[in-house]
Amino acid sequence: MGDTMDEKLNNTLDRDRAVDYALRRREVVAQLLADRGDTLVVAGLGAPVWDCTAVEDHPLNFPLWGAMGGAAAMGLGLAMAQPDRRVLVITGDGEMLMGLGALTTIGAQQPDNLAIVVCDNERYGETGMQLTHTAGGLDLPAMALAAGFATAAGIRSDNEFKAALPAIREGRNAAGPGFWSIKIRAENNAIGVMPPKDGVTLKDRFRAALLG
């Protein structure tokens, strides 16, 4: 039974390629958040939370310990409430796949201050590195473009990442929401620093830092 499943998966999903991807998640997120200024960050559950917190346990991060599939929608509500701030959602491919409808909701609202970044290792990293649909032919940036994002791109190399960074980080003058899928190496990182788990603490400190 197990062998049969493996064979079937291998017909459509590639379990090997992401192991060799050039970009590394911790370095990518560190660059996304370097000199972040007054950027507001929502981190999707799992490794993106650890990645963001490894840079800094910043009060203007909202790390999601649950609510899988909600990161992009949460970023939309925040972006509409704070139209003069850059809002950056950093999430994983599994989390994004659970809330794909939010891409179309964002496309309908066209917030020009919202950036969605998917750190795509083609894996459910917290549960044993099972393959996600992005290990096949699924093209998330194409879906975002079709949903109405003004900008959407897949990033595979350091050069592509460096070229995209200004648009991801700034984006104030962008024509609408932006979406970037960054293909990162499938690897297990130590979790490292965890943010507070208490949701009320996370909410209160975010609002205090933003609203005073």
Partner 1 sequence: MQANQGGVDPVDWTGAIYSTLQDWQVAQVAYVPDAGHSELIIRCDRDENMRLVPLTTEEEGIALLAGAWLGGQRGVLLMQSSGVGNCINMLSLARVCRFPLLTLVTMRGQWGEFNPWQVPMGQLTPKVLADADSLVFSVDDPAAMGQTVAGAARMAFEGPAQAAVLIGQAVIGAKSFGR
Of the pair 27, 198, the CB lying nearest partner 1 is at 198
42 is a site residue for partner 1 (CB under 8 A) = yes
Quote the CA–CA distance of 79 and 111 in Å, as a whole number.
7
| Binding residues for partner 1 restricted to 148-207, rule: CB under 8 A | 199-200, 202-203, 206-207
* Per-residue DSSP letter, 135: G
**Cα–Cα nearest to 53, from 16, 90, 1:** 90
Taking CB under 8 A as the binding criterion, the range among 7-15, 28-36, 47-55, 72-80 that sits at the site for partner 1 is 72-80
Residue 167 CB, nearest approach to partner 1 (Å) = 22
The binder of partner 1 chosen from 34, 108, 175, 208 (CB under 8 A): 108
For partner 1, the binding residue among 79, 119, 174, 186 (CB under 8 A) is: 79
**What SS3 string covers 155-188?**
ECCHHHHHHHHHHHHCCCCCCCCEEEEEEECCCC
The answer to whether 174 and 151 have CB atoms below 8 angstroms apart is yes
Binding region for partner 1 (CB under 8 A) out of 8-16, 57-65, 148-156, 178-186? 57-65
Stretch that binds partner 1, among 96-104, 126-134, 148-156, 158-166 (CB under 8 A): 96-104
Helix axes 47-55, 25-33, angle to 10 degrees: 50
80 lies in the binding site for partner 1 (CB under 8 A)? yes
- Interface with partner 1, residue 112, by CB under 8 A: no
Instruction: Please check whether residue 14 is in contact with residue 136, taking contact to mean a CB–CB distance below 8 angstroms.
Output: yes
* Separation CA 192–CA 203 (nearest Å): 22
Interface with partner 1 by CB under 8 A: which residues?
A: 40, 42, 62, 64-71, 73-82, 99, 101-102, 104-105, 108-109, 199-200, 202-203, 206-207, 210-211
